[in-house]
Amino acid sequence: DDIGDGGEKYDIYGDEEGTSKILHHFNKYFGFDERCTVAAMGLHGIATMKPKNSGHGNGPHPATWVKDASYKMTNDYFKGFEYEWTYEERDNEDYPKFGEQSQWYNGAYDEKRLVLLNVDIAMKWNYEEYVDDKGRIYCKVSDEANHHGGEDPRNVPECPRAYQTYNTVRDYAENYGLFLNDLEYCMIQMYTTGYRNGYDNSYFNYYGDGRATY
């Protein structure tokens, strides 16, 4: 509303949505291309998820996307994709309004375990063809297969690469300055375009190296 206190509720995407639908969402509402979408996901690196707010977290504890998360923007979010990530379903018995939630974790089950959401995983791996009728993902992004009932990891298919975004994740992990430059220009675009309902071609994508794409 006029004072920034809420507004229309948009259902962004469900847990089962994959790379292409996430990219479509950010293109439709912000005019983002694939690169800007990946850059915006990097903002998770300064965030914390709390079970009471979203149904996502580290057991009953809040969780972060990166180690030693702070309010300083780094490219640690992208470096973290090289970790081993295991899929899990949270029953959310303590937060029933959220229902069962999918997420991925790295590390032992303690208060410092890292967590990624499906929307994060989709920036590097496209699981769209590996979702069952309950919205559960049955492909792996590492050799950890405990989340598949303890079956032999060799029997669990690998999630394919997200060809539209995979290289950008790698580029940002290797080049901190590139990520910051792209993020700056993509955020300018977001602030000036706003959260709009519809695609009208009235925007540019600017990058830190001086390129502009229509």
- What pLDDT is attached to residue 151? 64
Q: Is the pLDDT of residue 166 over 80?
A: yes
pLDDT band with cut points at 50, 70 and 90 for residue 203: very low
Model confidence over 70-99: pLDDT tens digits? Answer: 888 999 999 999 998 988 888 899 899 988
Question: Smallest Cα–Cα separation from 187: which of 207, 211, 164, 212?
Answer: 207
* Residues paired with residue 86 on neighbouring β-strands, in sequence order: 105
Q: Which of 53-62, 69-78, 184-193 has the lowest mean pLDDT?
A: 184-193
Is residue 30 within 8 A of residue 193, CB to CB? The reply is yes
Is residue 157 within 8 A of residue 140, CB to CB? The reply is yes
- What pLDDT is attached to residue 11? 53
Q: Is the pLDDT of residue 206 over 60?
A: no
Q: Is the pLDDT of residue 209 over 90?
A: no
- What pLDDT is attached to residue 1? 37
Model confidence over 114-132: pLDDT tens digits? Answer: 999 999 999 999 999 998 8
Highest mean pLDDT among 76-85, 105-114, 140-149: 76-85
Q: Provide the percentage of residues in the chain whose pLDDT is more than 70.
A: 77
Question: Smallest Cα–Cα separation from 165: which of 75, 33, 77, 43?
Answer: 33
pLDDT band with cut points at 50, 70 and 90 for residue 111: low
Average of pLDDT values for 160-173?
Answer: 97
pLDDT band with cut points at 50, 70 and 90 for residue 6: very low
- What pLDDT is attached to residue 3? 40
Average of pLDDT values for 40-55?
Answer: 93
Average of pLDDT values for 135-146?
Answer: 79
**In the numeric block, which tokens belong to residue 19?**
């790379």
Q: pTM of the full predicted structure?
A: 0.83
DSSP annotation of 129 reads T
pLDDT band with cut points at 50, 70 and 90 for residue 108: low
Q: Which amino acid would we find at residue 36?
A: C
